Amino acid sequence: MAQDKLLKIHNLHKSYGDLEIFKGLTLSMDRGDRLVIIGPSGGGKSTLLRIVMGLEDIVGGDIYMDGKPYILRDGAKTKIDRKLQARVGMVFQHYTLFPHLDILRNLTLAPVKTRGMSRAEAEEKAMGLLTRFGLDAKAHAYPSQLSGGQKQRVAIARALMLDPDLLLFDEVTSALDPELVAEVEAVMMELAEAGMPMMIVTHDMHFARNIASRVVFAAGGVVVEDGPPEQVLDAPQVARTREFVERVFAKKR
C-alpha cells in the first residue's frame, strides 16, 4: 500500500466575513517535499500556513497528517488534533522572540514547559543548534542585540527545538535588509538538504526556484498550478503574477 501523505488538504473552504479566501483548495505533500506557495497578494498564502499550524478555524474541508484527521468535528464545531499540531513548526516574518529572555532561554522555554524536557537537555540541544547556525557566541545575548538575520536564524532554531515533522515559513526574509537575506536562506537550504519537509511562502522567486521541489500557485481560492519549480514558475499566468510581485517587492526594498 502506498504510504500516506505527510499532509493532505482536501476541499478547504475559509472565509473572513464575506471575504471568501479558499473555495475548495486541495493540496498534498510528501515527506520529501519542499513546497513553495506563491500567488497574488491577498490570495491567502499566509492564511493557508496559519490553518496548517492550527491557528485559524476553517469553514469546510479536511486536513490529514499521515492519513490521520487533523480537523476533528463534533456536529458543527471543529477543533484540531493537538498531538498532530505539535508536529508542525512555524517561523514568522517578525521573529516573535521574547525580548526579555536571552537567546538560550528563548530556545529552551517551550521544550522545558511543554515537552517536559530537562533544562540541561534543552540547553545542550539549543547550543547544538546555535553552533550549527553560527550563533553559539550569541547564546546569552538578548534579541535586541542581534541583527534581523540573526534573529530569524534563532527563530528557525527555536522551531527546530520541538523536532517538527513539518516546518512552515511565512515570508521569513521579507522584513530583512537585502544583505541579511542570504544568511537566512542558507540556513533554510541546509535544512532542505537535510531532508526537512517544508512549506514556504516567499516573494523571492530566485530562492523559490533554488529551494523548491514543488511550487504551488494558488489564486482565486484554489490551486491553479502545482508541479516542479521550472514548470510552474515559467507558466504564463504565473510568470505574469511573478513579475508583478517582483516589481512591488523591489519597490518595498
- DSSP class of 148: H
CB of 2 to ligand ATP, least distance (A): 31
Pairing of strands 7-16, 60-65: antiparallel
Measured between alpha carbons, how far is 34 from 188 in angstroms, rounded to an integer?
10
The site for ligand ATP (CB under 6 A) is made up of 16, 19, 21, 39, 41-47
CB of 155 to ligand ATP, least distance (A): 18
Measured between alpha carbons, how far is 68 from 46 in angstroms, rounded to an integer?
23
28 contacts 7 by C-beta, under 8 angstroms: yes
* Residue from 10, 26, 5 nearest 197 by CA: 5
Nearer to ligand ATP, 57 or 230 (CB): 57
CB of 57 to ligand ATP, least distance (A): 11
Nearer to ligand ATP, 105 or 214 (CB): 214
Nearer to ligand ATP, 45 or 151 (CB): 45
Measured between alpha carbons, how far is 100 from 160 in angstroms, rounded to an integer?
21
Nearer to ligand ATP, 35 or 135 (CB): 35
CB of 51 to ligand ATP, least distance (A): 9
